[in-house]
Amino acid sequence: MVKKIIGALLFVLLVLGSSGCTRPKPNPPAQTPLTTINPANETDQQESPNKSSTPLSPLVNQAVPILYYHSVMLENGNDLRMPPEAFEAQMAYLQDKGFHSVSLEQLYQASYKGGALPAKPFVITFDDGYVDNYTTAYPILKKHGFTATVFMVTSYINGAAFMSWPQLKELVANGWEIEGHTTNHPFLTKIDPSTVFSELRTSKEILEKELGQPVNFLAYPNGDLNAKVVQVVKDTGYLMAVTTARGWADDKTDAYHVHRVYCFASMGMNEFTRRLQNPNY
Ligand SMILES: [Zn+2]
């Protein structure tokens, strides 16, 4: 009797082991844990995400690069300004390799709420809200079928080098996200807690009022944060916050310490592509 049971078990294992489960189920069973980003998990999905025939998949065993830029214009010697030609080449590379830009909302849902993402997802973010995000980056991204997220410093809006409300509204109407980057871009760990609160709260409220959509995400100005700042970020209602820590977004960090991939003018194409091939570049 025992031998028969063991024999049956071995048979079942043999059948399962040889069935080659390469196609992820479109709808995972309800008891599946929250779909998460996990570059270290060793499965074949990470190696060959393109082999899935499902357009939208739960974000399992995968990390997502969140690129971050500032300005897109030519200024020799200023790493914060990506030359338009280099930016164009980077976007062409991403399109050619089959990457799909997703919003932070999509990433948040996939990372923490069991949502789904297209194959080879990535996020484009711009910090501070330079006017060339609208005049230069926007047409290039549109050409390649990508959208982006701007972390807007609200006191900069309508300033000479920065975007205006009508420009921000047009981006929103075309699928971009405008998210929080405080009112005045301070070092949040260097100011008193009540000012941290007002910097985060006031900027969030004005963006929501003017643009008519929720502002749930934040980029810490100067990448400056500590535990107290994170607590205020939570208290003011942000759901997720990105840092300047290097690496792809994954579920090893909580929603308030999300890593990003720095893109700077002197990086060159080789370094750009290297950062898009290894979550721990
Ligand atoms: Zn900034």
Q: Report domain extents, the chain.
A: 60-175+242-275
Q: Determine how many CB atoms are found less than 10 A away from the CB of residue 252.
A: 14
Q: How far is the CA of 117 from the centre of ligand 1 (A)?
A: 27
Q: How far is the CA of 75 from the centre of ligand 1 (A)?
A: 18
Say which CATH class 60-175+242-275 falls into: alpha beta
The predicted model scores a pTM of 0.80
The residues that bridge with 27 in the sheet, in sequence order, are: none
Q: How far is the CA of 70 from the centre of ligand 1 (A)?
A: 8
14: its two tokens:
């043999």
Task: Identify the H or E element spanning 16.
Answer: helix 2-17
Phi, psi of 166 (to 5 degrees): -60, -40
Where residue 250 falls (left for φ over 0; alpha for ψ -120 to 50; beta otherwise) is beta
Q: How far is the CA of 185 from the centre of ligand 1 (A)?
A: 6
Phi, psi of 194 (to 5 degrees): -70, -30
Q: How far is the CA of 159 from the centre of ligand 1 (A)?
A: 15
- Give residue 57's pLDDT band: very low, low, confident or very high (50, 70, 90): low
Q: How far is the CA of 181 from the centre of ligand 1 (A)?
A: 7
Q: Which residue has the higher pLDDT, 244 or 59?
A: 244
Q: How many Cα neighbours within 13 Å face the side chain of 56?
A: 11
Q: How far is the CA of 50 from the centre of ligand 1 (A)?
A: 34
Q: How far is the CA of 47 from the centre of ligand 1 (A)?
A: 34
Query: Is pLDDT of 75 > 80?
Result: yes
Contact (Cβ atoms closer than 8 angstroms) between residue 224 and residue 187: yes
Q: How far is the CA of 186 from the centre of ligand 1 (A)?
A: 9
How distant, in Å, are the alpha carbons of 59, 63, 219 from that of 92? 24, 21, 26
Q: How far is the CA of 22 from the centre of ligand 1 (A)?
A: 42
The residues that bridge with 67 in the sheet, in sequence order, are: 124, 261
For position 71, what pLDDT does the model report?
Answer: 98
| Least confident residue range of 20-24, 71-75, 106-110, 188-192 | 20-24
Q: Name the residue type at position 134.
A: Y
Q: Which residue has the higher pLDDT, 243 or 53?
A: 243
Q: How far is the CA of 85 from the centre of ligand 1 (A)?
A: 23
Q: Name the residue type at position 15.
A: V
Task: Give the separation between CA 142 and CA 211, rounded to whole angstroms.
Answer: 20
Please list, in sequence order, all residues whose beta carbon lies within 8 angstroms of the beta carbon of residue 175, skipping any fewer than 6 positions away. Answer: 103, 147
